[in-house]
Amino acid sequence: MAKGPQGAIYGRNAAGGAIIINTRKPTNEMDGFFRAGIGAGDEYSVGASIGGPIIEDQLFGRFSVNYVDRDGYLDNITTGSEDDPFEDLTVRGRLIWEVNDDLSADLKVNVSRHDGRAIGFQYQAVDIAADGITGTGFGTDTGPIDADNVVAIRSNNPDVGERDMEDVSLKLDWETAVGTFTSTSAYTKLEEYGSSDQFPYTAAQSAPGLFFFDGTQSQYFDVESFSQEIRLTSSAEQRFRWNVGAYYLTWDRFISSTTGTDTGAGIVRLEQAPTADPSNPTTSFIADDNDNTAWAIFGQANYDLTEQLELSFALRYDEETRKQNVSALQTPGIGVPGANNKQSFDAWQPKATLRYQPNDDLTLFATWGRGFRSGQFNQNGVGVVAAGAGVPGVGDVADQEDSESFEVGLKSSLLDDKLRVNASIFTTDVEGQHYFVFIGAVSAQVLVNIDEVSLLGAEIDAVYSVNDNFDIYAAYGITSSEIDEYAVNPAAVGNWAPYVPQNTFNIGGQYVFPLPIADTSFLARVDFERRGKQFWDPENTTDRSALELLNLRFAIQDNADKWSLSATIDNLTDENYNSEWVLGGFSAAAPGRTWGVDFRYNFF
């Protein structure tokens, strides 16, 4: 993982860092595996992959498939079934063609089909008893909201989420006398649908005489995008190294958010238009089509001042234009049906890094940079609806997020490479920090801006190899966050920023020892994690207390890496906590203790 602004190297919206995943390339050596597993929630899974040469030294391929099916972890006490089923099928293919010594092509195709949970937050501020609904009702409950409380799921409609995705990318590398020319083209098609009970997310149906009217909600996405990047990179075997490039992206996104009357007859699937079907008539429909384009130019230069000292400087300019075309079918009184809106966002993002390596075992570094995350349109009219629901600060446009970061640190290898220690101190100032809220009245997920936030923190991690069989590791991070400016609610100035834990800590170890069975070993691993207290909202009215999780893994494995049989237990102490809590009182429970058993066989 690369921390801090990374736009010049890793691309658009890499404002706070980048997680770098390199998949295994097919080569002249055949390789593959088969795996199967079972787990908590009546889960079973299978997966397989095979790769190798199609034409030796020229054409290589890999094909992978993975399937997971799970009934779920969270019980719905109204329906008597699990509320979070999960089914996912992913198929991947890859071809690498070494055309000649100077030209290669890398084609990737990915198809995914997913059915699972979608919108079904639970509402915390309504008291729900086992035999029905009690309390003073939505909007008038004056008791404190306990964001640590994990409420039971009582919806009469299942939480349904469906996602279909296809993406294709082609990367060409051409070695020239000047440097390596790289072209990367990508196409993605995504269709997503979700539906569930509307807030207050109870077992009730809409009926006269109730102190509130329950409802249904659904949301539909249809996104299609194409991107093109080109870059020219110098040889790495020279004192002055550089790369320059350009990027273009166009994407079309249609989104509709719908609420309806819950008659008990289920939820009618809606995509492009509302319905008057008496089984589930539409009460609100907000929809828009976004035609968006983005482009960027970027470059980076690295220069070895001495054999131990390297200076690098990067610069990226991003510009995005977003056009929102509001559906003429949008519910009158919410936004402006048929409106056409346009907004642009842009930023320069410089970054400078100084690295000093006095020897092979120690690297010192200092880096400064600016980051950028584009703004976007929220659905038209949600600002007024949010204000009416008591959620301030929501606008029809979320502004861009700009950040400035500075970090100093070290990476070291000690005791003949038995001990590795990394440490850093950082500061980040963010303007327009994006903050997520959910407007249940119209089933809309929106972003708002916190004007100015400052972060100051430090991190340290270490790995110690006691011997060839035993490793221990630990990491600690501390972050002080503060809201410096918040026009929506000046009283929040001085508060902690939402979603930022005050500290994090993890420690663990892994021990591998030989078994008396022929050429096999036993592996035992334990991981302990502590996430410090964090606030969910800028007003700091709700928080999640410090959270402690303990995970275990055991395995019997062949020393030649031909097969392994492993077992895992996550959240061993069965900690109950919310994985998310959103302003307005909407929570999502995390699973309790889970387990899994997995067998893997590597062939070739």
Give tens-digit pLDDT for 452-510.
Answer: 999 999 999 999 999 999 999 999 999 999 999 999 899 999 999 999 999 999 999 99
Find all residues with CB under 8 Å of 181, minimum gap 6, and list them. 172, 173, 174, 230, 231, 232
Mean pLDDT of 176-195: 96
Structure confidence at residue 244 (pLDDT) = 97
524-551 average pLDDT score: 93
Within 10 A of 517 (CB to CB), how many other CB atoms are there? 10
User: By residue range, what is the domain housing residue 205?
Assistant: 2-603
How large is the average pLDDT for residues 426-440? 91
Q: What is the pLDDT of residue 85?
A: 92
Neighbouring residues of 67: CB distance < 8 A, sequence distance ≥ 6? 45, 46, 47, 88, 89, 90
Please give the structure tokens belonging to residue 497. Answer: 């920023």
* CA–CA distance, 534 with 580 (Å, rounded to integer): 11
What does pTM read for this prediction? 0.88
Q: Residue 442: its pLDDT value, please?
A: 80
Looking at residue 589, its pLDDT comes to 85
> Cβ(73)–Cβ(126) under 8 Å?
no
What is residue 359's predicted lDDT score, i.e. its pLDDT? 95
* Residue 133 confidence (pLDDT): 35
- pLDDT tens digits for range 43-83: 999 999 999 999 999 999 999 999 999 999 988 888 888 88
pLDDT of residue 125: 52
Give the CATH number, domain containing residue 260. 2.40.170.20
In 10 A of CB 296, how many CB atoms?
23
| Cβ neighbours of residue 87 closer than 8 Å, sequence gap 6 or more | 68, 69, 70, 114, 115, 116
Kindly state the average pLDDT of the residues 367-396. 89
Does the structure show a pLDDT above 70 at 3? no
How large is the average pLDDT for residues 254-277? 93
* Residue 216 CB neighbour total at 10 angstroms: 28
pLDDT, tens digit (0-9, with 9 covering 90-100), for 124-153: 653 333 333 333 233 333 333 456 777 778
Q: What is the mean pLDDT of residues 416-440?
A: 93
- Cα–Cα dist 500/479, whole Å: 8
Q: Using an 8 Å Cβ cutoff, are 544 and 581 in contact?
A: yes
> How much of the chain exceeds pLDDT 70, in percent?
90
Q: Provide the domain count of the chain.
A: 1
pLDDT for res 319 = 97
Which of 90-99, 136-145, 162-171 is predicted least confidently?
136-145
How much of the chain is helix, strand and coil, in % rounded to 5? 0, 60, 35
Band (pLDDT 50/70/90 cuts) for residue 264 is confident
Question: Helices (H), strands (E): how many in the chain?
Answer: 2, 35
Query: What pLDDT is attached to residue 8?
Result: 65
